[in-house]
Structure 1
Amino acid sequence: MTDRTPRPGAVRRAAARIDAATPAGRDRAVDALRALAICGVVLGHWLVTALVADGTALRAASPLQYSSGLAPVSWAFQTLAVFFLVGGHTATRSHAAATARGTSYGRWLAARLARLFRPVAALLALWAVVTALLLLTGADLTTVRTLVKLALSPLWFLLVFAALTAATPLVAKLHPLWPLAVVLHVDLLRFGLGAPDRLGWLNLAAGWLVPYTLGAAWTRGELERRRAGWLLLLGGTAATAALVAWAGYPAAMVGVPGAPVSNLNPPTLAAVTFGLAQCGAALLLRRGLRAALRRPVAWAAVALVNLSAMTVFLWHQTALMTATAATLPAGRLPGLHTRPDGLDWIAARIAWLPVFALVLAGCWAAFRPWERPARRSRVVHVHRPGRTGTPRPKVEA
């Protein structure tokens, strides 16, 4: 029998090829921050999302409902602000380059949005079939509603991100203090003057526009000094601590089922200031990440995550639900189907994470072509400075 396990030498050679094919001017820290943000969201959801088997139904729950001491888990894994920071940086840089080449706004936007929404079609198609089968087989409506809501929950993020991407030419020079001021005033009206809660949905755009415009400022070179990173980190941390301690904002930076106020749905001032702190930390990490990613194996891992970022993001909740549903016939298993009301549940859930990752790998194998459709590669001969001889071919997908 042939051993198909990749050998260390083969892994290093593959990593070296990926490293050699990477343009010399690429800022690898940008890709690393995007990968960290995606992985943070995935792990965060897997740690705080429970599907409790309640009789004939599955209901969503969270360990944050039962222990406020677990709020720091959300601080570590709610990394959406970093994704919007990187998104604002890459979109404004891409738009500037497209404009310089003479590419129209419409063509530029169509290319950007295709990368976001092409994988969505597969998710919607599969869940349309699953939902129909569940309803036809008489599944409990609470279960169907819970599963569909979790499966499609990543789509709100894509809609907001797409809207900000479309507005890139308008917001490219917008100072982050302007959307921050909108968030501040909306929260003052909601929580201080009794305005309707629906007013808070203005923050869905304004709140995420803050890190997005910080990304644009990064493109303009305004955040290169480490002082900017420290100011954001320390200022954002102090503001968030003050809002939680004295203004009554929840400590958890994600939504908690049954809680009267969510910091994330829609974003509150505390979520935005917390995001500022995260953006500051991300900016401070750039130098170290660039040094670490000179190692081909480390860079190959980051590159592979980025190549499938949307597939991983869209299907991670489906992977969790698939593992949960597939094991339900074996009984109510700790960390999967039981109420998340103790540390024993947390320990059991951590033990299930490799299973979720394995199911997600299966989803990746099945649906990655929707994100990166096969197309003919073209070979570009690249001259390396300081080298002579035959130009080295570089394959661009």
Structure 2
Amino acid sequence: MSLAALAAKVDARTPAHRDRAIDGLRALALLAVPTGHWLLGGFTVDADVGSLHNASPLSSFTGLAPASWILQMLGIFFLVGGYASVLSYNKRKGSSAEWLKSRLVRLGRPVLGVTAVWALMIPFLYGLGVPEATLRTGAKLVVQPLWFVGVYAAITALTPLCIRVARRMGAWSAAPLIGSVAVVDFLRYGPYADAVPSWLSLLNLLPGWLFAYQLGVAWGEKRVSRKTAYVLLAGGTALFAALLLAFHYPASMVGVPGQGRTNSHPPSLLVLALAAAQSGAAVLLRDRIARVLRHPALWAPVVVINLSAMTILCWHQTAMLAAAVPGSYLGTIPGLTSAPDTLGWLAARIAWLPLFAVLLVVIGKHARVFEHPTGKGLNTTKARRTVAGLLAAGFTVFALGLA
């Protein structure tokens, strides 16, 4: 079957009520995760033992910071997550607890799968001679994007409350969240910052990421008008500019080694300003996106990406490592294991992206069984779940440097 025929078949099987714009926005946000990590995640090789170490090109090229504004699309992901949760919750047939359990299982099973597999791989790779430092570097990269799943799960559990608040207050229900983050930012970055304990920043973790989700819930409840969307776009853009120019927030949306402040872990007010602008743009462009995705050739990839969402999130770092670890045995390879401190590195890294994508497809073909178990391919008995849980816990301890 040709690709055109396959795309037409996927298009024909899509229900008429399917919201293509929401799926398209989710796919865009999903692709931004591996693209960002692959572009901004460099390595260096220890000349003595050949071990890999993480290195960020942002340390050398501050001018790359605007790229992180485009690639940081978690605001869009939480926005469409809130929107989709409303539709799913309102159509549920069982209790709220049953609905939540099904959502959490869908999130947790792929995470358990990737961490358990890596727990088995580490001793095997070590036995083959892969340096321990390389294994720790790889483990940290694999764990890096998984924090998102825990936060998303916690926020998903709040969906019934989010819906009740959105029905009363509409888009204004997200305002207290941005206010909360602003207060914490003032305390940790303001004139009394020296007297504020470091753990205070953790108070931004939940409201910081709940902000866009709450907007999505209000959108799903039809409480976000085009006028509100324009306010979000203009207000978010203005606040973003003010925080950068007048309040000297770090320009990068991701952490940069050596910088004392970071915007994303936990989220600062700059993250919420960007999420507000992105959310406003998404609402305004929704109808246009839906029309574009009526074309089967554009719609089919969106379907594939959405069906592989957790596989992409959990395994994209493994795909990059599948190229970098063997490459480390060959020494310094431009764009792969060379230090990310020249423009040549950036050009070479872009050239490596297609290989990373191919490796992700190959890995995903086998790993997606954790996301979509079929038949007896994944017999999740209590004993197997227990073993997988222990393996995942062991891998996490190793990745965090606790063992």
Instruction: Indicate the residue corresponding to 2:89 in structure 1.
Output: 95
Matched, 1:16 2:8: yes
Structure 1 contact 316–360 (Cα < 8 Å) conserved: yes
Runs of 4+ in structure 1 displaced over 3 angstroms? 133-142
Greater relative contact order structure (CA < 8 Å, 6+ sep): 2
Structure 1 contact 87–212 (Cα < 8 Å) conserved: yes
Q: CA deviation at 1:286?
A: 0.9
SS in 2 for 1:261: coil
RMSD across aligned C-alpha pairs, in angstroms? Answer: 1.7
Cα distance between partner residues in 2 of 1:54 and 1:278 = 40
Cα distance between partner residues in 1 of 2:128 and 2:203 = 40
- Unaligned runs of at least 5 residues, structure 1: 1-5, 377-397
SS in 1 for 2:43: strand
Instruction: Indicate the residue corresponding to 1:147 in structure 2.
Output: 138
Percent of matched pairs sharing the same residue: 45
Q: CA deviation at 1:293?
A: 1.2
Cα distance between partner residues in 1 of 2:250 and 2:148 = 21
Cα distance between partner residues in 1 of 2:322 and 2:294 = 37
Residue identity matched to 1:213: Q
The worse-fitting range, judged by mean Cα deviation, of 156-165 and 366-375 is 366-375
Residue identity matched to 1:204: L
Residue identity matched to 1:257: P
Query: Aligned match of 1:37 in 21, 29, 33?
Result: 29
Structure 2 contact 255–263 (Cα < 8 Å) conserved: yes
Instruction: Indicate the residue corresponding to 1:110 in structure 2.
Output: 101
Residue identity matched to 2:178: L
Structure 1 contact 119–310 (Cα < 8 Å) conserved: yes
Structure 1 contact 229–283 (Cα < 8 Å) conserved: yes
Q: CA deviation at 1:140?
A: 4.5
Residue identity matched to 1:256: V
Q: CA deviation at 1:20?
A: 1.9
Instruction: Indicate the residue corresponding to 2:306 in structure 1.
Output: 306
Cα distance between partner residues in 2 of 1:148 and 1:128 = 9
Residue identity matched to 1:344: G
TM-score by length of 1: 0.88
Structure 2 contact 43–340 (Cα < 8 Å) conserved: no
- Unaligned runs of at least 5 residues, structure 2: 166-172, 377-403
Q: Give 1 or 2: higher helix fraction.
A: 2
The worse-fitting range, judged by mean Cα deviation, of 212-221 and 229-238 is 229-238
| 1:315–1:91 distance in 2 versus 1, CA, 3 Å | same
Instruction: Indicate the residue corresponding to 1:178 in structure 2.
Output: 176
Instruction: Indicate the residue corresponding to 2:264 in structure 1.
Output: 264
| 1:15–1:135 distance in 2 versus 1, CA, 3 Å | closer
Cα distance between partner residues in 2 of 1:137 and 1:31 = 42
Number of aligned residue pairs? 364
Cα distance between partner residues in 2 of 1:37 and 1:160 = 16
Structure 1 contact 184–269 (Cα < 8 Å) conserved: yes
Query: Aligned match of 1:190 in 183, 188, 191?
Result: 188
TM-score by length of 2: 0.87
Cα distance between partner residues in 2 of 1:220 and 1:200 = 31
SS in 2 for 1:176: helix
Instruction: Indicate the residue corresponding to 2:212 in structure 1.
Output: 211
The worse-fitting range, judged by mean Cα deviation, of 18-27 and 136-145 is 136-145
Q: Counterparts in 2 of 1:1-397, with a 5 A limit?
A: 10-55=2-47, 56=49, 57-98=51-92, 101=93, 103-134=94-125, 140-174=131-165, 175-192=173-190, 193-194=192-193, 195-223=196-224, 225-374=225-374
Q: CA deviation at 1:173?
A: 3.6
Cα distance between partner residues in 2 of 1:40 and 1:287 = 22
SS in 1 for 2:52: strand
